[in-house]
Amino acid sequence: MNEVNTKPLKERSATRNLVSHLMKDRLAIIGLILVILVTSSAILAPMIVPHNPNKINVRNRLKGPSVENWLGTDQLGRDVFSRVIVGSRIALQVALVSIAIAGSCGLLLGMMAGYGSKKLDGILIILFDTIRSFPTIMFALAVVTLVGPSLNTIILVVIVTSIPVYGRIVRTQTQALKHNEFILAEKAMGASKLRILGVHILPNVIGPLLIIASMDIPVVVTIEAGLSFLGLGVRPPTASWGSILNDGYAFIRNTPWLVIAGGAPLILTTLGFTFFGEALRDVFDPKLRQEVL
């Protein structure tokens, strides 16, 4: 056989491209650092808390930052810093669990809607849009009234309200892919619907979903904080950033540090995950351009 055009055109591996690209993006690095900070705090929480976050010491209440208590103490003398660290665990637990479940359900339903029959698509779309037309807060209040406030309530609310959003995103992506030639090729070879969805469509639609989902983490954290602030979330004495904010709001004239302690981690988490999510978008788009859309 005569010599053939054998050199692959773009030799650099995708991973090398990705890493070098990310290194150039300062915001991405800041985001990554913040994400690592919050995540490690959440994971290592019980090991790194300097004090017992629930230990009450009323004599020491509402003190400002000191060597003993880096962020001071709250109205019951509990160490605020320790509570913030525990709060990170709650925040991420809620966020990751609810987004993971909502994402998986949204992925499945979205693919079914995008690839399945028109009837199935129609039913799912009506379902999605009905849920989306409910204001989240109203829905949360309704659920809380029925089931009582708790971490699981928040998780449930977030899951139910997020599934339609993720579902629609995945549906659109799936529809766009459905008519691509490589899907046609798979059909021509006899691939089953399940195989096409699982092996060929899923990896190509999961990208945008992951990006949106990662940018939703701070949103969910904020929702949790908000609901806890309103007293509809975690029950005392559990430390959540929202409940710290709630306390801080009540005692703001005594010390501003409670509000700062509750608010600052929220801001940092939001910024961190947002920058990181933007960097993820770059990961999935031009460099590894898979010509999906």
**Can residue 194 be called a binding residue for another protein (CB under 8 A)?**
no
Structure tokens at 92: 């991420």
String marking each residue 229-268 x if it binds another protein according to CB under 8 A: ----------------------------------------
Site for another protein in 54-83 (CB under 8 A): none
Residue type, position 33, single letter: I
Q: Quick one: which segment of 64-72, 99-107, 192-200, 230-238 binds another protein (CB under 8 A)?
A: 192-200
Structure tokens at 255: 């010390």
String marking each residue 162-181 x if it binds another protein according to CB under 8 A: ------------------xx
CB 106 within 8 A of CB 165: yes
CB 95 within 8 A of CB 106: no
CA 46 to chain centre: 22
**SS3 (DSSP) at 14:** helix
**Can residue 186 be called a binding residue for another protein (CB under 8 A)?**
yes
Residue type, position 242, single letter: G
- How many residues of this chain interact with another protein, rule: CB under 8 A? 35
How far apart (Å, rounded) are the C-alpha atoms in residues 202 and 195? 10
Site for another protein in 273-292 (CB under 8 A): 288-292
String marking each residue 1-20 x if it binds another protein according to CB under 8 A: xxxxxxxxxxxx-x------
Among 55, 178, 187, 235, binds another protein (CB under 8 A): 187
How far apart (Å, rounded) are the C-alpha atoms in residues 237 and 221? 19
**SS3 (DSSP) at 73:** strand
Taking the complex as a whole, the smallest distance from the CB of residue 288 to another protein amounts, in Å, to 8
Q: Quick one: which segment of 94-102, 187-195, 248-256, 266-274 binds another protein (CB under 8 A)?
A: 187-195
Closest to another protein by CB, 184 vs 252, is: 184
**Can residue 51 be called a binding residue for another protein (CB under 8 A)?**
no
Q: Which of 221, 257, 281 is nearest to 42 (CA)?
A: 221
Structure tokens at 83: 């509570």
Where do we find the tokens 């709060």?
87
Q: Where are the alpha helices (DSSP H) in 49-150?
A: 80-115, 118-132, 136-147
**Can residue 204 be called a binding residue for another protein (CB under 8 A)?**
yes
**Can residue 44 be called a binding residue for another protein (CB under 8 A)?**
no
Q: Quick one: which segment of 39-47, 59-67, 193-201, 268-276 binds another protein (CB under 8 A)?
A: 193-201
Taking the complex as a whole, the smallest distance from the CB of residue 180 to another protein amounts, in Å, to 6
Stretch (H or E) spanning 291:
none
Taking the complex as a whole, the smallest distance from the CB of residue 133 to another protein amounts, in Å, to 25
Q: Which of 15, 99, 26 is nearest to 275 (CA)?
A: 26
Residues that bind another protein (CB under 8 A): 1-12, 14, 180-182, 184-192, 195, 199-200, 203-204, 288-292
